[in-house]
A and B are shown apart, each in its own frame.
Chain A
Amino acid sequence: NAGVTQTPKFQVLKTGQSMTLQCAQDMNHNSMYWYRQDPGMGLRLIYYSASEGTTDKGEVPNGYNVSRLNKREFSLRLESAAPSQTSVYFCASRPLNSGNTIYFGEGSWLTVV
């Protein structure tokens, strides 16, 4: 059981380049999330998708776009990468019902130079 799988795990981008982080879960979860983790700032929600076909902004959506391709997959796109987007990105998923634990992927280390 793979859980939540993110690719790539490491990426170095030049300022202005674009890229897509891929995420897939095999737990049949309705809700999926993208977070970024920065030192001293904890985990901040970028976008989330409560269910297939819906997406909503989180705390820090600027500079990002998302696509909920199907129930399994939720991708995060950086259209024009900036050094401020250097971070560790986590994809996560969980069942729709309240109180359920959230399952995280292993993280994607992104450096923008």
Chain B
Amino acid sequence: AQTVTQSQPEMSVQEAETVTLSCTYDTSESDYYLFWYKQPPSRQMILVIRQEAYKQQNATENRFSVNFQKAAKSFSLKISDSQLGDAAMYFCALEYGNKLVFGAGTILRVKS
């Protein structure tokens, strides 16, 4: 079975500081995608960043970057220069075939 584990139910960060959200996954597939999604209180789901398993280079989108360790099946999200608007639930997700499986989520709180 393909699983996604987010071991941090909640994280806090000071505004302008850096925070890292952890995600591990398990899959028997050789080709797959990994995603981070943001869910603010509005419940809207927003794509933050995606990573293809075949690409060794870590994906980056502005202040968001990932540390993809394929052998360790780890996919952490680093948020630099945290802003109040980053406060949300963050989900790690694994795509294989036509399925998209999500982790339990990490609530990120940003302190001013």
Show the binding face of A for B, using Cβ within 8 Å.
Answer: 31, 33, 35, 40-45, 48, 50, 56, 58-59, 88, 90, 92, 94, 96, 98-99, 101-104, 106-107
With A104-B45, A106-B44, A107-B43 already in contact, the answer to whether A98 and B103 are too (CB < 8 A) is: no
Chain B residues within 8 Å of A35, by CB? 102
Question: Is A101 a contact partner of B50 (Cβ separation < 8 A)?
Answer: yes
Question: Is B43 a contact partner of A45 (Cβ separation < 8 A)?
Answer: no
Question: Is B104 a contact partner of A96 (Cβ separation < 8 A)?
Answer: no
Show the binding face of B for A, using Cβ within 8 Å.
Answer: 6, 9, 31, 33, 35, 43-45, 47, 50, 52, 91, 95, 98-105
With A99-B50, A99-B95 already in contact, the answer to whether A42 and B102 are too (CB < 8 A) is: yes
Chain A residues within 8 Å of B9, by CB? 40
Q: Can you report 30 A-B residue pairs in the complex whose CB atoms are below 8 A from each other?
A: A31-B98, A35-B102, A40-B104, A42-B91, A42-B103, A42-B105, A43-B91, A43-B102, A44-B102, A45-B99, A45-B100, A45-B101, A48-B98, A48-B99, A50-B98, A56-B98, A59-B101, A88-B43, A90-B45, A92-B45, A96-B98, A98-B31, A98-B95, A99-B33, A101-B35, A101-B50, A103-B45, A104-B45, A106-B43, A106-B44
Chain B residues within 8 Å of A107, by CB? 43
Q: How many A-B residue pairs have CB under 8 A?
A: 50
With A42-B91, A42-B104 already in contact, the answer to whether A102 and B99 are too (CB < 8 A) is: no
A-B contact sample (13 more), CB < 8 A, given A33-B100, A88-B43? A40-B9, A40-B104, A42-B105, A45-B100, A50-B98, A92-B45, A94-B100, A96-B98, A98-B33, A99-B50, A99-B52, A101-B35, A102-B47
